[in-house]
Amino acid sequence: MSGEDAPAEQQNAVDQKQETKPAEEPKAEEPKTEPAPAAAEASPAATTEKVPEEDTFTYRALVLTGYGGYDKVKLQVKKGKPVLKAGEVLVRVKACGLNFADLMARQGLYDRLPSPPVTPGMECSGVVEAVGEEVTDRKVGDKVMALNRFGLWQEVAVVPATHTFLIPEGMSFEEAAALPVNYITAYMMLFDFGNLRPNQSVLVHAAAGGVGIAATQLCNTVKDVTVFGTASASKHETISQGGVTHPIDYRTKDYVEEVRKISPKGLDIILDPLGGSDTHKAYNLLKPMGKLITYGAANMLAGQKKNLIAVAKNWYHQFSIHTLSLIQGNKSVCGFHLGYLDGETELITQVMSTILDLYKQGKVKPHIDSTWHLEQVGDAMRKMQERNNIGKVILTTEPMPEEEKKEEPKKEDKKEDKKKDDKKKDDKKKDDGKKEEKKDDKKKEEPKKEEKKEEEKKEEPSKEEK
Amino acid sequence: MSGEDAPAEQQNAVDQKQETKPAEEPKAEEPKTEPAPAAAEASPAATTEKVPEEDTFTYRALVLTGYGGYDKVKLQVKKGKPVLKAGEVLVRVKACGLNFADLMARQGLYDRLPSPPVTPGMECSGVVEAVGEEVTDRKVGDKVMALNRFGLWQEVAVVPATHTFLIPEGMSFEEAAALPVNYITAYMMLFDFGNLRPNQSVLVHAAAGGVGIAATQLCNTVKDVTVFGTASASKHETISQGGVTHPIDYRTKDYVEEVRKISPKGLDIILDPLGGSDTHKAYNLLKPMGKLITYGAANMLAGQKKNLIAVAKNWYHQFSIHTLSLIQGNKSVCGFHLGYLDGETELITQVMSTILDLYKQGKVKPHIDSTWHLEQVGDAMRKMQERNNIGKVILTTEPMPEEEKKEEPKKEDKKEDKKKDDKKKDDKKKDDGKKEEKKDDKKKEEPKKEEKKEEEKKEEPSKEEK
């Protein structure tokens, strides 16, 4: 995850414009269900006659074309096969994870993403289609999950082999795309900064979110840990089943009061994705020797475009702490964001290895909220931003069936999602995750072709992104 | 260590004035080498005829009479046997530990000490001489070490039984008085906030001080931990032998540069007792996922009286951190001070139990710099404040021999100290720890009788101290 690791294809590819909806017909070279043969990289693709593959190779990529609303992320077609540098692998992407940082990035609030036009995406799963020189521990055909600072929301992605992790037996591509960011984040917060031990108490905000569910599962790997989890009432049943000891409806109740009723002395660990005034509350809610771990500023996100009032309010209320207060309180304040852990490959690999062991033991398992086609990225982001998800929101690179393109996305019951999770037929299943009450909103947001064309500037391969 | 636990004798005792030097003859009731008989509490002392012991019982106590220089701590004689409340024990004190907080307290810079007149002292060792009701796990004759917010620098101390810990076989009273504050502090910083693990790197400031030596020893209980330790060059040999990997002479070198030469990426854990601008340096010297643990503001101490410029400078440079910076750096800032861990008896007991196990395994052992009579408390404090100590500065309640009172304190070689440590005849040995080069200074500081009498106000037993 070094800063120099921008996907190589961004330098090689020449992009082609493509409307988000309706999408073009999938190209012949597009998502293959079998891994490409090992020779694919060196020799011209068999499907084209004598034209070099470098010219005919195309793939679809999501591109953030400018800061703003959900429609700023467009589906484009890029041309030209990425050239691998030593140590890199080319991954045929199957599924991608959405993260809060992606939502921040779209509004221009995340400085780890280069300026638009750029392909976002911090995690994906897929199959290794080619390996560069000096890659010894990955081979063509390996099923992997990948982590990168950005650039993974596309059908083919180039990443250093050290940023990939082998998918264990029985884990679907959707689960694999859901796992890295949320579980590494939750693990490092709880077990590195938090130093979680038996009998301790933890507050997990947004307990039904990706990190929230991961954190709850990880808390439950330690004996007698009490988990307080905030979520709207409709999600309480799910998070209780998932291991939250005390669900709190933050919309109708003061979570500080609720926690104090049960744990008058306060808490050992608080995970704070909110920022602003909630960080102050969290600090005051810590026990002596308590740890506050802040990992975001979700309070800054109000509406789909950058909300200057929300940003200013968050900034104004931003938590600032003097050491004297820390000393007198015997408290710890930590900040975590995986996106800034550039270059800590060894550390991340170690943590991933532990998490995958826990997965194999059945102790953790990503919970997929819904899976969306690349064309539906706007809706997928909206679902997450409006906190209508339970668990992870996933993008799939599977082509969108013609009939789905022509009609409104189908309503989907969340309970169906859960069943699908269990069936593990993730690659085959599509879940447009649409809630009926959002249809009206959605129509307003439906990207209009005319506007889009103006906004889509030619994406010049940029050296800066390298 | 609850805030309500001011030693009970402070409410009962009626003080008598006593000159620090020369001291009065030890009273018949004063330090006994054998534990008092179990009946001592209930029945009048055998040595006095028919006068109730409550009236004849006297003991010497150090009293902070006002904020200021070394001479503000006076030796006084108090009268009246303390009455025990349920859960308390009366300890016949053998040795007391000096801590940096005591130096801060003398200057009025430590808010956990009630206003003068008050007896300072956070730790001591001794023998249980009486137990109050409901005390089941301590009995008369038990050798114990004790921790309290203050009030332990006297010949008899009353503390809750839960604030005492049994002294293990083979540990001297001096070691026992040296252990609690320094080792609990170092342990909780390294293993609770710091979450120290194999292969990590730690910066220990004042590595030859009490906490510094404890921290170094504790670091060495973890595999392949690299310890950077600052100390003046003359102490390097000792701290190297004690386990510091890279000693740094902070007086002649920039410790930040020295660390970077060896560990360019920075450090995993930094223990910061200095405050002010050194906290800023420490923060910048942290690796990603690094932890800065600040536990004091030694930089505020400049000279023996409160130095307003030093205090203001420290305040001005006081470290204040925004959560955004923590997030972007993936860093943790923690504050620790044992004096504010009121009421965390269970936690402290658990930590002490672990430390005593390490002692029994020979993995940790307090290093005594020097032992001083109660009359010499000013010199003892000076030695610590001027950073001339290597290890712990201890007070003993043993009466000062007549010949020592009449002549200047003897010069003492530090190497002699070390030998004495090893001999473990701590109770019998006195070490006035005087360095020849300080004689001149000392004469100036020698408390003058006339001044002292004026300063010594009648110490009214104070309800507020309760």
How confident is the model over A358-380, as pLDDT tens digits? 999 999 999 999 999 999 999 99
pLDDT at B324: 85
Residues of B in contact with A332 (CB under 8 A): 193, 291, 332-335
The rounded mean pLDDT for chain A is 80
- Cβ contact A420:A431 at 8 Å: yes
DSSP H stretches of helix in A285-432 = 308-316, 323-329, 345-360, 377-385, 402-406, 414-423
Q: Tell me the two tokens of residue B183.
A: 């080792």
Helix axes B210-219, B180-187, angle to 10 degrees: 50
Residues of B in contact with A192 (CB under 8 A): 195, 289
Strand pairing of B246-248 and B226-230? Answer: parallel
* A432 vs A396: CA distance, rounded Å: 10
The closest CB to that of B321, out of A320, A330, A341, belongs to A320
| Greatest pairwise CA separation for chain B in angstroms | 75
pLDDT at B4: 39
For residue A411, give the 3-state DSSP assignment: strand
Residue of A nearest to B329 (CA): A340
**Over the stretch B214-229, which tens digit does the pLDDT of each residue have?**
999 999 999 999 999 9
- Cβ contact B180:B147 at 8 Å: yes
Residues of B in contact with A325 (CB under 8 A): 335
Q: Which of A33-37, A82-86, A423-427, B20-24 has the highest mean pLDDT?
A: A82-86
Q: Got the DSSP string for B167-236?
A: PPTT--HHHHHHSHHHHHHHHIIIIIIS---TT-EEEETTTTSHHHHHHHHHHTTSTT-EEEEE--GGGH
Q: Tell me the two tokens of residue B34.
A: 């054998």
Question: Which ipTM did the prediction report?
Answer: 0.78
Whether the per-residue pLDDT at B13 is higher than 70: the answer is no
Do residue A288 and residue B328 have CB atoms under 8 angstroms apart? no
pLDDT at B212: 97
pLDDT at A320: 79
pLDDT at B127: 98
Instruction: Give the contacts of A377 (CB within 8 A, at least 6 positions apart).
Output: A20, A62, A70, A73, A75, A153, A395
Do residue A335 and residue B323 have CB atoms under 8 angstroms apart? yes
Q: Enter the pTM of the model.
A: 0.79
Of A250, A210, A198, give the one whose Cα is nearest residue A229. Answer: A250
* A172 vs A113: CA distance, rounded Å: 28
CB atoms within 10 A of CB B370: 29
Residues of B in contact with A327 (CB under 8 A): 294-296, 335-337, 340
Lowest mean pLDDT among A55-59, A346-350, B25-29: B25-29
Whether the per-residue pLDDT at A193 is higher than 90: the answer is yes
- Across the range A216-239, mean pLDDT stands at 97
- The dihedral region occupied by A433, where left means phi > 0, alpha psi between -120 and 50, and beta the remainder, is left
pLDDT at A336: 96
pLDDT at B321: 82
pLDDT at B356: 98
pLDDT at A406: 55
* B243 vs B238: CA distance, rounded Å: 9
Do residue A327 and residue B318 have CB atoms under 8 angstroms apart? no
**Over the stretch A13-63, which tens digit does the pLDDT of each residue have?**
444 444 444 333 333 333 333 333 333 333 333 444 556 666 789 999 999
Q: Tell me the two tokens of residue B447.
A: 């408390």
Q: How confident is the model at residue B403 (pLDDT cuts 50, 70, 90)?
A: confident
pLDDT at A275: 87
- Across the range B55-72, mean pLDDT stands at 93
Residue of A nearest to B194 (CA): A193
Q: Got the DSSP string for B349-417?
A: HHHHHHHHHHHHTTS----EEEEEEGGGHHHHHHHHHTT--SSEEEEE-SPPPHHHHHSPPPB--HHHH
pLDDT higher at A465 or A351? A351
The one-letter amino acid at B102: D
Q: Tell me the two tokens of residue B454.
A: 């004026």
Residues of A in contact with B320 (CB under 8 A): 320-323
pLDDT at A276: 84
- Cβ contact A344:A1 at 8 Å: yes
Whether the per-residue pLDDT at B233 is higher than 70: the answer is yes
pLDDT higher at B249 or A21? B249
Do residue B323 and residue A320 have CB atoms under 8 angstroms apart? yes
Q: How confident is the model at residue B24 (pLDDT cuts 50, 70, 90)?
A: very low
Q: Return the residue matching tokens 């040995």.
A: B429
pLDDT at B296: 80
pLDDT at A73: 96
Residue of A nearest to B273 (CA): A327
Whether the per-residue pLDDT at B49 is higher than 80: the answer is no
- Cβ contact B263:B196 at 8 Å: no
Gap from A382 CA to chain B (nearest CA, Å): 25
* B364 vs B362: CA distance, rounded Å: 6
Residue of B nearest to A274 (CA): B323
pLDDT at B200: 98
Q: How confident is the model at residue B118 (pLDDT cuts 50, 70, 90)?
A: very high
Q: How confident is the model at residue A424 (pLDDT cuts 50, 70, 90)?
A: very low
- Across the range B288-305, mean pLDDT stands at 81
Size of interface A-B (CB pairs under 8 A): 125
**Over the stretch A263-308, which tens digit does the pLDDT of each residue have?**
999 999 999 998 888 999 999 999 999 999 999 876 666 666 767 6
Q: Tell me the two tokens of residue B130.
A: 């009486």
Interface test with chain B among A188, A334, A340, A345, by most B beta carbons within 10 Å = A334
Do residue B323 and residue A319 have CB atoms under 8 angstroms apart? yes
Whether the per-residue pLDDT at A429 is higher than 80: the answer is no
Q: How confident is the model at residue B51 (pLDDT cuts 50, 70, 90)?
A: low
- Residues of A in CB contact (< 8 Å) with B are 188, 192-193, 195, 275, 279, 288-289, 291, 294-297, 318-337, 340-341, 344, 347
Residues of A in contact with B333 (CB under 8 A): 321, 323, 326, 332-334
Peptide bond into B117 cis (omega under 30): yes
* A373 vs A432: CA distance, rounded Å: 8
The closest CB to that of B327, out of A322, A328, A337, belongs to A337
Strand pairing of A246-248 and A226-230? Answer: parallel
- Across the range B314-338, mean pLDDT stands at 86
Q: How confident is the model at residue A315 (pLDDT cuts 50, 70, 90)?
A: low
pLDDT at A30: 35
Q: Return the residue matching tokens 């020097």.
A: B370
- Across the range B121-125, mean pLDDT stands at 97
Interface test with chain A among B2, B326, B333, by most A beta carbons within 10 Å = B326
Whether the per-residue pLDDT at B282 is higher than 70: the answer is yes
Backbone φ and ψ of A459, nearest 5°: -85, 100
Residues of A in contact with B288 (CB under 8 A): 340-341, 344, 347
Whether the per-residue pLDDT at B466 is higher than 50: the answer is no
Of B235, B297, B230, give the one whose Cα is nearest residue B258. Answer: B230
pLDDT at B316: 63
- Cβ contact B384:B301 at 8 Å: no
Q: What is the DSSP letter of A190?
A: I
Q: Tell me the two tokens of residue B142.
A: 């038990």
pLDDT at A316: 63
End-to-end CA distance of chain A: 13
- Cβ contact B208:B390 at 8 Å: yes
pLDDT at A52: 65
Lowest mean pLDDT among A387-391, B186-190, B306-310, B426-430: B426-430
Gap from B275 CA to chain A (nearest CA, Å): 8
pLDDT at B304: 67
